[in-house]
Structure 1
């Protein structure tokens, strides 16, 4: 008896996203290594944690595919981009990567609606919400660097930024979760 509950197209699209999440993990890991090498241990630690979070996302896709009777396919992971030239380029790369990932997530949501695969549509809603967080977090990185002075920031400003990011939680507060008591 066939117990697979995913179309072939959906199984492939979910596997592709699983691989995209693994690639994201490698990108953020490489950015973290770059930051660590430059002496920004706080920024590196932040990026390492983000790399682990992306890997966890890939595992969510893997488990979902398996739970729906499919078999995830692991593809070769492209090499991460070259080291950034600056913190601005690094943070812009994080943001660009998250926006690209959001676009992929939306394509999966569209496919699930097209196929009337409501289980996958429901599963994807967690990722839609997560991408709001991820983009907010990446935008906040860019904003913090701008406040510090961008690529012309003083050593003292960069030291403070580095220390701040080391202590920054992985989750960004979301406006839709705000209340009068917890703005």
Structure 2
């Protein structure tokens, strides 16, 4: 079974693992800079992206379609200041949003109604991801060099918020 949608979806597994890899690099940078709230936030983001990849894997498993993997790309791990990795994360989320839109559009164009339905949760998730990173970048800009304000914002507003997984596709491995 092959289609343009399935080919793009296989690529998306790699994109999601790359995003997870990049978020780990960002988290480690924040950890090294003694910014534990930002580090925790990006470790959580890395886990979410890995989960997204495993949701796609489970979709392939459920449809009895072979799963293909490729290696992850290198991650950027050196930043000039705390704003730079957040701006990178926002840029990455905007790129992923375009990839998800292309997947949904392709599924619709090919008449793959199962694929189109599968992509709906991801579209909603990307709206939330871009909004969250936009807010974080705005707060980083407002905080300027005062990283205590940025850390306090993340601790108060971002790290305790539970991810809305209502309607989320299941993950391969049971979400472990």
Q: Taking structure 1 as the reference length, what is the TM-score of the superposition?
A: 0.82
The one of 113, 129, 138 equivalent to 1:134 is: 129
Change (3 A) 1:170 1:51: farther
- Which of 129, 139, 152 is 1:160 aligned to? 152
User: How does the TM-score come out when normalised to structure 2?
Assistant: 0.85
2-structure distance, mates of 1:134, 1:38: 24
**How much has 1:69 moved relative to structure 2?**
2.0
Q: 1:13 offset after TM fit, Å?
A: 1.1
Partner of 1:179: none
Q: Post-superposition shift, 1:88?
A: 1.1
- CA RMSD across the alignment: 1.8
* Secondary structure in structure 2 of the residue aligned to 1:10: helix
Give the alignment of 1:84-163 within 5 angstroms: 84-148=79-143, 150=144, 153-154=145-146, 156-161=148-153, 163=155
- Give 1:60's match in structure 2, choosing from 55, 58, 71: 55
SS of residue matched to 2:96: helix
- Of 24, 28, 41 in structure 2, the residue corresponding to residue 46 of structure 1 is 41
- Kindly tell me the number of residue pairs found equivalent between the two proteins: 164
User: Structure 1 residues 126, 162: closer, same or farther in 2, change over 3 A?
Assistant: closer
**Residues 23 and 89 of structure 2 are in contact (CA less than 8 Å); yes or no, is this contact kept in structure 1?**
yes
Name segments (4+ residues, structure 1) moved above 3 Å: 161-168
